[in-house]
Amino acid sequence: MPQDDDLADDLIPGSLKRSRSYHSDYGRKTYGEIRDLAAADPPDLKARQMRKLIEQTERLQQKGRRS
C-alpha cells in the first residue's frame, strides 16, 4: 500500500502513464494530496483517476497484458 508522502510519479509505472487516466500535472503531487482531492466535495475527477491508477496498478497492468 502506498504511503501518503509518496509521489504519484514514483508509484505509477511507465506503462500506465500512457493511460488516459494519467495526468502529468498531478504526477508531482503526493498520494495523500491526491487522495484528499479525490475525496473532496465535489470530487476532483483527475485526482480520482490518478488514485485508481495508484491503488490498482497491479490489476491494471494485468489487464493491459491480456489485450
Per the domain annotation, does 18 fall within a domain? Answer: yes
Q: What is the pLDDT of residues 26-38, one digit of tens each?
A: 999 999 999 999 9
Per the domain annotation, does 1 fall within a domain? Answer: no
Per the domain annotation, does 31 fall within a domain? Answer: yes
Per the domain annotation, does 36 fall within a domain? Answer: yes
Q: How confident is the model at residue 57 (pLDDT cuts 50, 70, 90)?
A: confident
pTM for the whole structure: 0.86
Number of domains in the chain: 1
Is pLDDT above 80 for 42?
A: yes
Set of cell numbers at residue 13: 509505472
Is pLDDT above 90 for 61?
A: no
**Secondary structure (DSSP) of 23-60:** -GGGTTSBHHHHHHHHHSSS--HHHHHHHHHHHTHHHH
Per the domain annotation, does 44 fall within a domain? Answer: yes
| Percentage of the residues of the chain whose pLDDT score is greater than 90 | 79
Per the domain annotation, does 23 fall within a domain? Answer: yes
The domain in which residue 46 lies consists of: 8-66
Per the domain annotation, does 3 fall within a domain? Answer: no
Per the domain annotation, does 30 fall within a domain? Answer: yes
